[in-house]
Every structure is written in C-alpha cells, then in structure tokens.
Structure 1
Amino acid sequence: MSYIETTLRNLQRSSPCQPEFYQATEEILQSIYPLLDKNPHYLQQNIVERIVEPERQIMFRVVWQDDEGKVQVNKGYRVQFSSTLGPYKGGIRFHPSVNASTIKFLGFEQIFKNALTGLSLGGGKGGSDFDPKNRSDNEVMRFCQAFMTELYRHIGATIDVPAGDIGVSQREIGYLFGQYKRLNRHFEGVLTGKALNWGGSLVRPEATGYGLVYFTENMLQANDDCLDSKKCLVSGAGNVAIHTIEKLYQCGALPITCSDSTGTIHHAKGIDLILLRELKEERRGSLIEYLDSHPDAEFIPRKNYPNDGHAVWRIKAEAAFPCATQNELSEADAKALCQNGITCIVEGANMPCTAEAQALILAAGIHYAPSKAANAGGVATSQLEMAQNAGMIQWSFAEVDQRLQTVMKDIYQRCAETAIEFHQPSNLMLGANIAGFRKVADAMLEQGLV
C-alpha cells in the first residue's frame, strides 16, 4: 500500500463518513506526490499527517425562536484548520446540506487557496445547516445572534476572521457582527463582507466573480487566446455567478446560461443581468420567472437530469464556469462539454468537478483552472478589507480592483511556473496544489512542532 493510500485510510478511520473531505484530501495528495518524492524531508517531519488534521474543530448547538414562537435547533460548526500563514480565514455557510464533511473539505481547500494569494492568511471554514430561504429578517437575525453567541469566543481580528459564503450575505454578516460587538465590546475587523458604511470594502461583493474572470484572462493570454466573443456557460445564480456574468460581459464574452436548484436558463442572446439581479437579489425568486420577461429563453427543469449531470453543461459553448456548488459537474457532464466544443473550464465554486470529471478534463487537454486558484479573489479581497480595517481607512473601487487584478495575475503565474517546474506545464491543478502545499509546509517546518 502506498504512503498516500495509507494516509487516506488512516484519515477515514479518524474522521468517518466524510466523503467530501476525503475527496479534497485525495486530490491534494495525489497532486503533490512529485513534490514529496523530490523532497523527502516533508515525509520525515510528517507534514502530510499534520496538515490533514485541523488544529481545532468546534461543533455547537444553535437554539433560536421563529416568528411563531417555536423553538428551533440547528447545528453550528467552525473548523480552524491551519494558522501557519496567518489568522484562520474562511467563510460561514448557511445551507441545509452543511455537515462536518462539507465544512472540513472547504476548510482544507481554504488552506491552500489562501496560501496561493501570497497574503498572510490561514485556513478555516464554518457554517450551519440553517436555511435562510423563506425566513423573515427577524428570524434570520435571531438565528445569527444565537450562532454568534457561541462562535464569538473562538474568533477575533488576529485569531479567526470569518466571511460570508452560501446563505450568508451582507444581511447575515451585519447581524453576526452586531452580536459579536455586543458580546465582546470591540469594534474590530472580525468579519469581512461588511456593509460599506461600517468597515466594508469596495469590490468585496464582486471579488470572487471578477477574480475568476481575471484568472481566466491570464490563463488564455498565456495560450494566445482571449475571452472576447466567446460563448460562456455559467452555473449558479448567486453572488459568484452574477458577478462572473457581469465581468464576462465587460470582457466582450457572451454568457448564455445560469441555473438554480429548480433548473437552468439558456438564453442564446445572452443572460439579462439586470433581470437576474432582480430575481435573485431582490425578489429571491425562481429562475423560471425569467421567462415572463424573455419568452425566447429556454428553462430546463432540474428533474430532466436527475442522476446523470446537469443541463447547463449540455449546451454548446466555448468556456464553462461552474459557480454553484461542490460536485455539480459529473463525468457525464465533462464528456458533454468536450463534445460541445468547450476549450476552457474555470471553477468558481469550491470543488465543483467530481474526481472523475477532473481526470477526464485533464486527459482531454482542455485549459482547466481549479477553484483554489481561480476563485481566490474573494478571500484576497477579504484580506484587503482586513488591511483597511486595521488602518481605519477605505480605498477606492479602482484601487481595490487593481490590487485584485494583481493578486489573480500572481496566482496564475505561481501555478503555471510550478506546473512547469514539475514537467506538466498544462496542469494548473498540479501547479496550484504543489505551490499552495509547499508554502504552508515550509512555514510549518520553520515554525517547529506547533
């Protein structure tokens, strides 16, 4: 049995029933094997065994009261994976699918994503199985207050700085921050994604989507290509998808799809961004309502592809941006993309491609950007928000956007140069995983047994 297989088996024994976490770990370990072979001191110091175990795992009960006076109980999590490079940094997700496996895979990925930014950030993640959908503002506020009543003792501006994620927007960040301030009596940058008039940063809402497109531009330019006039498939209809669509339009591309839990919109003329924002950000409605304004568009119900992938990936285009959730793009989807003329796939969600899909994409020679590199714009701009909070200043939109562009260019170059170093110049997944792991591992060796 190989070293990696032994490590994964031991992990399954110590952390049972966590398939997403195993998947994320296996992807990293398989990619970094050339590094471990070249540098045996990582093995001698058990760096892998140390890095796959979180420094701290916090699980807690969240008790709150709904508008009808009924007591509700949810489960809360915060996994503080690595503080080697800086304070723990990673989002809080409120969604019914959240469990220990989800949070641990996201926290593990966050270590290397944050390392790739070149900024002083550790890795962590948190969340709850609470669903803010169809809840009143008062119910969301009471839940957030109950959640923070436990979490506040574990976080701080130089300890752990959570951000938003799925189900946690500026509204939720506001309620969480207010309760933290009430309990801790400190006005500090303990959360990022705040409103502009009390410590937020310009570009933060746009950062993940914009950064995704900036990374894509760098990747394509290095291969004598560009986004201009390309038809693009985008999944999701949340913050990342909306700002990816917005920036794609600004780059001259034509995004023709978006999706939610009910199905997919295909609009050959291009997605109506104004309408999409209204539906998902203001009315919080279903995408099927898109057809009321655009009868020329097509709505494909999710039930049409219950077990064999997603309709959004069965449409002919040139670039694909999975921006919804983990494992949304299956092997069957990857085959469909290859057959429909896709030349690049750039991950906006965290681990949106299954392991089988990844293998097929890499074998096909398609330009492929893994999420830990391509969607790092959000956490990078969170760190810029932290820097502004520490200095009690606010930078202009142009200044933050320029810094974001620089960070994404640096991430691409770091990944590409590492891939070349290990003789797989087209494999950015290998480049990202080795570059991120090596930075954290070297710092761990320099800091000793901590």
Structure 2
Amino acid sequence: MISRIDLRGRSLSRRELIDALPRAELDVEHAAAAVLPVLEAVRTRGASALRELGERFDGVRPEHLRVPADVLAGAVEALAPEIRAALEETIRRVRQVHAAQRPAPLVTDLAPGAQVRQRWIPVRRVGLYVPGGLAVYPSSVVMNVVAAQEAGVGSLAVASPPQKDRGGLPDPVVLGTCALLGVDEVYAVGGAQAVAMFAYGAVGEDDRDGAVLCEPVDVITGPGNVYVAAAKRLVRGRVGIDAEAGPTEIAILADQSADPRHVAADLISQAEHDPLAAAVLVTPSSALADAVDVALAQLVPATANAERVRTALAGTQSAIVLVDDVRAGLEVVNAYGAEHLEIQTEDAAALAEQVTSAGAIFVGPYSPVSLGDYMAGSNHVLPTGGSSHFTSGLGVHSFVRPVQVVEYDAGALAAVADRVVALADAERLPAHGEAVRVRF
C-alpha cells in the first residue's frame, strides 16, 4: 500500500537527500496558462464573468454572488448544537494563541534627539479563500479570519465555491462559521476566479450586485488546488499572498517506542484530504515499519474515504523512509520540510527543539495533526512542498507590516551631518549631502 525508501548505510549530500525523498508533483506553470484567461475575464467583466465561471467550474450559476445577510443569519442559527459548540471552542483557542502573536512597537534612541520607532500597521483589506471541493473547511474560515482580526485588519471578505446542491451558495457550515466570526462580506465564488476577484475587484452585473460587487484587497490568503496556487502566483506583486499552497503533507519521525496504530491513523488522517496528499514515515525501526504496514491494511478499508486514502498512500509522494538512527531521521525531516511534522520518539520534546524546517511540529503521541487542524489553537494554514525552509504558516504576522518612523532634531542631525555628506560624496550623489547642508 505504501512504498519504502531505504537510506540506511548511505551518506548523501543535502541535494541528494532532497532528491531521494518523495514529493507530490504540482505543475503550477502548466496551470498558470489555463488560469490566465480566467483572471482576465474577471478583471474586465466582473460579476458577469464570475457567474459564467461558476457555471463552468462548479456546475451552478449563482444568483447571488455576495451571500445575502439573511442567509448568513439563517446559517448560524441552523448550525447543529455540537458543531456550534466545537466551532466556538476552536475560535476561542485560536483567538487566544493569535492575540499573543501581536508584535510590540519598538523605540530605539540612538543619541539625544535621534530616534527610530518601528510601528506595526495592519493591511487595509484582505480576501480569505476557503476551499470547497472534496471536503468543506469551516476550520479554514476560523484560521484565516481570526488571524486577520487579531492583526487589526479593518475589512475582511471571504470567498468559497458555490455548491450545486445548495442553490449556488457556499456550504452552510462555512456560512455559519463566517457569521459566528462577524464576517458579513461572503462571496459564492471559487477557485482562480475568487483570487482574481480579490486582486482586481469586480464590477456588478445588475441590481443584485450593485455598481461595484467587490473592492480589491491588499492580501489574499487561504489554501486551494493547483489553479488557486497558479492564480496567486500570477497576481503576486499586485497583492500580497500567504503562499502557493500544494497538497497537504504529513511526515512522522518515529522510533520503536511509537504505537504503530497511532502512526497509521495519523498517516490516514492526512491522506484522506486528497489523492495527491503526502504521507511519509521516517524511522530507524524496521519492526515499526512492518507493524505500520499491518495497521494500514487493517485501518484503510474501514475509513470513509478509503479509495482516496489508498491512492494517496500508493502515490510517489508517500513512503516509509528507513534510516540508520533517530539522528539521521532528524536530518531527513529537516531536508523534507513537511507541512505537518509529528515526532513520536522517546525524547520527542528535545528532538523537536532541533527541527529547523516544518510548518508545524506536533510533539509526542497525544499531539496528532488532527488536533492542530481544529482545536490546538495553532493555525493550520501552513507551507507545503518544502517551502517551510523559507516561509511560515499563517498568523498575525501575515497581515501586518513594519514601518520605521525616523525623528531627529536639529542637534542630532548636525552631529552626523559631515558623515552623511562624506557618504553621499563617496556614492557620487552630492545632492544627498546638500539636502543636509542646506538645513545649517
């Protein structure tokens, strides 16, 4: 069901190690060619293009592109009590964690009368995308919205695909979650066209939409398929983006102390997302690898999304990687840079401190990735495809930017004037020096 890669007894360079590890193939370049006309259609024709594209890609032509207020109010009232209670607890925990992420302003006094202050300013407006393909993701609403709210963003819009069996509206639990969070600007728009709407804004088609359906945003966040990733790549620079999200990934670093059924269940939990989902076990224990194979054979047929799980586990992006010891395993997972990394070893907490590349790290047998998906308080919008080597998951930092405020008085400027002039002359930019001299 899942292949093996044996790295025991091999001494590999970093490049060779990265090449040896499994990874989902995501052809964003090819998808970008298909996405370009979608972006242009939305940019030039707005609401009318969005309706046509909804019919083409989602099988339904939405009557209301912006979800009416009464529909949002009804959706929150219709939430099942146990789902509402779970969402409210998730919101509470995620809000508590993200409130602690707010960066503090900095003040540096360099000399009497010479001060540089650093302010953190939230972006003006964000567009948050929530997928709705093989599964629906009210939890992604929470992760995106709460991070933006705690950053102090003043204007939030959410887009999620129209559902054919819902009369062209997004999933009702997604809508109810938006309402719980106080978000009243929600669009029945999916895929690349949602990214285009956020990046360019969209004019209305008729009285249902008004003259302007959607104002452009400054930052677009949220996961999606390869076409969403391609659209984000194409609009990056016009707007900020969180990342080009690829298929979900789980890597588990485990030794002989790990419970094979826990490991198998955790691999399955991420494999059910998508046939391209990556599930990787890194272990020095052949006995654990064999036991996990047995557990997978028992557990996969019993899971609701068994066919999807089998496809993901059998794909080239998934494998059991055998290593010489836990130290070699740590080198492997750092080279892999998984979206989700579980550590199920005897010294899990100490080992976690040595991880240098992962979207999020889950320590010990009672911190499964599923906890992070919903209730841990951490954010589950995380870097994929090895991009954790240079970027991080979604958080308050995704929606704020630092601005430096420089304030010198006459004496402080006079004290460095000659040195400013000297550097300006060295760079053959004498007018820079004159801009200082003229003040004295």
TM range (shorter): under 0.3
TM value normalised by structure 1: 0.27
TM value normalised by structure 2: 0.27
Higher helix residue share: 1
Q: Which has the higher contact order (CA 8 A, sep 6+)?
A: 2
Which one has a bigger Cα radius of gyration? 2
